Chains A and B, each alone.
Chain A
Amino acid sequence: MSIVGTRVVRVEDHQLITQGGTYVEDLRVEALTGAVHAMFVRSPVAHARVTVDASAALEAPGVVAVYTAADLDLAPHKAGPVVEPWLADGVVRYVGEPVALVLTEERYQLADAAELVDVDYDPLDVVASIDAALSDETVLFPDQGTNTLQTTGGEFDDKAFDDCEVVVTKTILNQRVAPAPLEVRGAACAWGDDGRLTLWLSTQNAQISRATVAKGLGVDAKDVRVITPDVGGGFGAKIGTDPESVVLGWASKRSGRPIRWVETRSENLVAMTHGRAQQNTVTIGGRRDGTVLAFRLEVVQDAGAYPRTMFLPTLTELMATGVYHFPKVETSSRAVVTNTTPIAAYRGAGRPEATAAIERAMDLFAAEIGVDPAEVRRINFIRPEEFPYTSPTGASYDTGEYAKALDKVLEAGGYAGLRAEQARRRESGDPVALGLGIATYVEITGGDSGGESGRLLINPDGSVTAYTGSSPHGQGLDTTLTMLLSDQLGVPMERITVRHGDTDEVPRAIGTFGSRSLQLGGSALRQAADQVIDQARALAADRLEASPDDVELVDGAFQVRGAPASGSVTWAQLAEEAELTADVWFGDGSPTFPFGAHLAVVEVDTLTGKVVLKRIIACDDAGPIVNPLAFQGQRHGGLGQGAAQALLEVMNYDADGNPTTATLADYSFVTAPELPDFELVDSETPTTRNLLGVKGIGEAATIGSTPAVHNAVVDALSHLGVRHLDMPTTPLRVWQALTEARKAN
């Protein structure tokens, strides 16, 4: 029986549960002997002119160097249309922006020395919100003349909604959140006698990091080696490398010392990129029978102080219509800069925002016409016979069974019974209201149009070494790829090693993000294994004196088809004879479109505003499942993180641009008692766009769960006159919404 599709415990885990992983901070390699410790001095104010005096710090015990912008001789680097300095150069633009780098002999000397760096901050007017940015009263980059640094779409038809019986419009805030992987950012680096830099980095992507660092330092990419040790979570925020890594590489060269760097959690919360931060205005119109005729989405992306990642708002536009077939669709986006931490990818990156907007819009429309939200969705779904389907915004969906996914979760959740229970509570005046939230979603995975590398080698003893360009950090991809190869090659799992994350071993790769690893990295290794099997079959044919076409691979040995008695040849025998290896690039790169439906059940205490998430029932269809254990784990994690955004997570700033949630004591990380047991419903709709038929699962459940939970909270309050409230649905927000609704009634 094939191992693929069975629940296999992870090969990664033994080390992790007995010795812990080897994260950057755990490295005890020889090249780092005598390494100095590094700390960045970061701005405590949002917008100011700065002058730095390092002289006192240089006298402090153990200080090896203090570097500022004046010392750096690196070419400037761009963030979108503007220059983002490596270290603040004359002006700081957000709390947390690096101003100076301190190197000391001992770790405990860092904070003392950093305190002695004398920075004079001469305050400038602060742009702390999207509204302030749009007003252009204060402009962050005077050269640009405006805070709006990217605009797309927006050719709107005044008559777009003329045929509609009902039109609803609403501005929906998709709040800023912190990716906050449990392992903060860290790096270590050392220059070798050969003039090459080795950089150990907590990143999702060694190869892109190498390119960024080499470019930043102005050296050839072959002179930089990036190694990712174990990585304690990334969630999109560790896709590439941040400016800090370039500065560290430069400082190591300048000081002639290896360097270790790890930030603190408080630093991480203000200085690692944040996610979401969109303000989305939806206009939805249609007939009273539930048919939607027109939809408009206007995205405003808060890009933070430096517009590092401008694809988020356009990806939101691309996925704007979700799982629905709407006759008329219009979108636009703007990205504005503010005096806040830069925004970049966070689990889902652009798609959760699109889904949150359309799924909230569907509920607003359903409420307006008085039709059940499940029914309104059914009426407007793209139907199975319409695939492949090109959406009005240009996305080419491969396969989908949207109505089936919704029906499955509604049945598994007992939707009719829950609605009856809701009505009963309402009638009896129960102060604890029940809310049901639905979200049906489609997600784009491998959407970067790139491929991935895969290299395979049969060792002389018949064991297998595989090199993948993907770079997992908790997804269990080692196990998944090992299972696929074991199945394909007939070699036991313990004889297969998967290697990744070292640019000397895997020079060409795109890496792990956008839920691309299995569909692209897995397909690459499938292709490499196919080639190696062909090579082996030719060799075996010689030995068995048969035609290669008549030779087949059975249980890890080659034999003549239909004549097993005539002998067989093992992988080891063949690998001794000749090199069996293949190095491929799986370049198809067409994205795939996983989909699903989530049903959330919440209880809201209408006296206190407290929301309790009681149940989440989820159907997440990403095609064939290789390892149900890892697949479910990805869904669990996504459900937890997505629900957390709806319920409690937010990165807040005051009007002066001071972050008010800059420690884990203030930033509401979701904990075990706040989440329910997850109820998973399975469904597998394959794609034809890669060799495995698989789609990505890493982000899917995050995308569906946020609007499901959000919709559930609003639904709980709907009988009291609440139509909408923004996330996170904290007790205060709920209570305020109830108070306003009561006043209006």
Chain B
Amino acid sequence: MKVSIEINGTTVSEEVEDRTLLVHFVREQAGLTATNIGCDTTSCGACTVLLDGESVKSCTVLAAQADGHRVTTLEGLRGEGGDLHPVQRAFREEHGLQCGFCTPGMIMASVSLLDHNPKPTRQEVRDGLEGNLCRCTGYHNIVNAVMNASGQEVQR
């Protein structure tokens, strides 16, 4: 079937199998490989992208379901002129990543979290990121990154 999705402002139209997952469409058809696959049970959040502005795990959405919709991935987060998104900047400043594999999903989930709750408490950040696993950081600096991005104090 033919699927057309606007990804980071550009429409990608491709013929795909019905069962094609959104994450594969983004990675293979659109050629955007920041979005990672970490599991096969919708558990890890590595594949998190924004679908019409809401965070979804793209391994659990069919490309067909996103037909005609708008997707944002990590690559589409930078502003005009290449400025880092505040969440990207904060992950770097607070050492919110180590191996970086969870990071694209973690950043997208954090963007969505702050959209809904611009001044979260540390506990709200932890609860909000429950669906995103990180094996490296122990989460401490990820929480700091989200606090930093929201203009709040961090605990180094």
Closest partner residue, chain B, to A266 (CB atom): B40
**With contacts A629-B95, A640-B139, A671-B133 known, is A16 near B100, CB below 8 A?**
yes
Chain A residues within 8 Å of B88, by CB = 17-18
- Cβ of A657 < 8 Å from any Cβ of B? no
The answer to whether A25 touches B37, judged by C-beta atoms less than 8 angstroms apart, is yes
Closest partner residue, chain B, to A184 (CB atom): B38
The answer to whether A20 touches B99, judged by C-beta atoms less than 8 angstroms apart, is no
**With contacts A16-B103, A20-B74, A265-B39 known, is A476 near B98, CB below 8 A?**
yes
Q: Separation in Å of the B1 CB from the closest CB of chain A?
A: 14
Closest partner residue, chain A, to B100 (CB atom): A16
Place the interface of chain A in its size category.
Answer: 35 or more
The answer to whether B98 touches A677, judged by C-beta atoms less than 8 angstroms apart, is no
- Cβ of A78 < 8 Å from any Cβ of B? no
Q: Please provide the chain B residues from 96 to 127 with a CB less than 8 Å away from any CB of chain A in the complex.
A: 97-104, 107, 122-123, 125-127
- Cβ of B134 < 8 Å from any Cβ of A? yes
Q: Separation in Å of the B15 CB from the closest CB of chain A?
A: 13
Partner of B38, one of A19, A183, A638: A183
- In angstroms, Cα B30 to Cα A546, docked, is 62
Chain A residues within 8 Å of B137, by CB = 633, 636-637, 640
- Cβ of A473 < 8 Å from any Cβ of B? yes
- In angstroms, Cα B125 to Cα A167, docked, is 48
Most-contacted residue by chain A among B91, B100, B142 (CB, 10 A): B100
The answer to whether B138 touches A232, judged by C-beta atoms less than 8 angstroms apart, is no
On chain B, the number of residues with a Cβ less than 8 Å from chain A's Cβ atoms is 58
Taken residue by residue from 168 to 182, chain A's Cβ proximity to chain B (1 for < 8 Å, 0 otherwise) reads as 000000000000111
Q: Separation in Å of the A548 CB from the closest CB of chain B?
A: 42
The answer to whether A639 touches B92, judged by C-beta atoms less than 8 angstroms apart, is no
- In angstroms, Cα B133 to Cα A183, docked, is 11
| Stretch among A5-13, A361-369, A566-574 lining the B interface | A5-13
The answer to whether A474 touches B44, judged by C-beta atoms less than 8 angstroms apart, is no
Q: Separation in Å of the B19 CB from the closest CB of chain A?
A: 7
| Stretch among A133-141, A435-443, A483-491, A661-669 lining the B interface | A661-669
Task: Determine chain B's interface SS by DSSP, over half rule.
Answer: loop
The answer to whether B126 touches A23, judged by C-beta atoms less than 8 angstroms apart, is no
**With contacts A474-B99, A672-B130 known, is A678 near B43, CB below 8 A?**
no
Chain A residues within 8 Å of B91, by CB = 13, 17
Partner of A233, one of B39, B104, B136: B136
The answer to whether A633 touches B98, judged by C-beta atoms less than 8 angstroms apart, is yes
**With contacts A20-B74, A663-B40 known, is A183 near B104, CB below 8 A?**
no
Partner of A182, one of B77, B102, B107, B143: B102
Chain A residues within 8 Å of B40, by CB = 264-266, 663
The answer to whether A669 touches B97, judged by C-beta atoms less than 8 angstroms apart, is no
Q: Please provide the chain A residues from 23 to 71 with a CB less than 8 Å away from any CB of chain B in the complex.
A: 23, 25-26, 28
Chain B residues within 8 Å of A26, by CB = 33
- Cβ of A641 < 8 Å from any Cβ of B? yes
- Cβ of B78 < 8 Å from any Cβ of A? yes
- In angstroms, Cα B133 to Cα A663, docked, is 14
Most-contacted residue by chain B among A13, A182, A232, A671 (CB, 10 A): A182
The answer to whether A233 touches B41, judged by C-beta atoms less than 8 angstroms apart, is no
- Cβ of A492 < 8 Å from any Cβ of B? no
**With contacts A25-B37, A474-B98, A636-B140 known, is A664 near B103, CB below 8 A?**
no
**With contacts A232-B101, A673-B127 known, is A265 near B44, CB below 8 A?**
yes
- Cβ of A507 < 8 Å from any Cβ of B? no
Chain A residues within 8 Å of B78, by CB = 18
Q: Separation in Å of the B3 CB from the closest CB of chain A?
A: 15
**With contacts A23-B101, A265-B44, A639-B138 known, is A18 near B74, CB below 8 A?**
yes
Partner of A20, one of B34, B136, B138: B34
Closest partner residue, chain B, to A17 (CB atom): B88
The answer to whether A16 touches B44, judged by C-beta atoms less than 8 angstroms apart, is no
The answer to whether B35 touches A181, judged by C-beta atoms less than 8 angstroms apart, is no
The answer to whether A675 touches B139, judged by C-beta atoms less than 8 angstroms apart, is yes
Partner of B41, one of A19, A180, A630, A664: A664
Partner of A672, one of B37, B139, B156: B139
Chain B residues within 8 Å of A633, by CB = 95, 98, 136-137, 141
Q: Separation in Å of the A589 CB from the closest CB of chain B?
A: 27
The answer to whether B139 touches A20, judged by C-beta atoms less than 8 angstroms apart, is no
- Cβ of B36 < 8 Å from any Cβ of A? yes
Taken residue by residue from 228 to 268, chain A's Cβ proximity to chain B (1 for < 8 Å, 0 otherwise) reads as 00111101000000000000000000000000000011100
Chain A residues within 8 Å of B138, by CB = 636-641, 675, 678
- Cβ of B14 < 8 Å from any Cβ of A? no
The answer to whether B133 touches A182, judged by C-beta atoms less than 8 angstroms apart, is yes
Q: Separation in Å of the A663 CB from the closest CB of chain B?
A: 5
- Cβ of B5 < 8 Å from any Cβ of A? no
Chain A residues within 8 Å of B101, by CB = 21, 23, 181-183, 232-233
Chain B residues within 8 Å of A671, by CB = 129-130, 133, 139
Chain A residues within 8 Å of B135, by CB = 180-182, 233, 235, 637, 641, 669
Of all A-B residue pairs in the complex, the 6 with the closest CB atoms, nearest first, are: A20-B34, A640-B138, A232-B101, A474-B99, A474-B98, A664-B43
- 12 A–B contacts, CB within 8 A, in A order: A17-B100, A18-B78, A25-B37, A182-B44, A184-B38, A232-B100, A265-B43, A474-B136, A629-B95, A632-B95, A640-B137, A672-B142
Q: A28-B31, A632-B95 are in contact. List 16 more A-B contacts (CB 8 A).
A: A10-B92, A13-B97, A16-B97, A17-B92, A17-B97, A18-B88, A22-B33, A107-B28, A181-B101, A182-B44, A183-B36, A184-B38, A232-B100, A266-B40, A632-B156, A671-B133
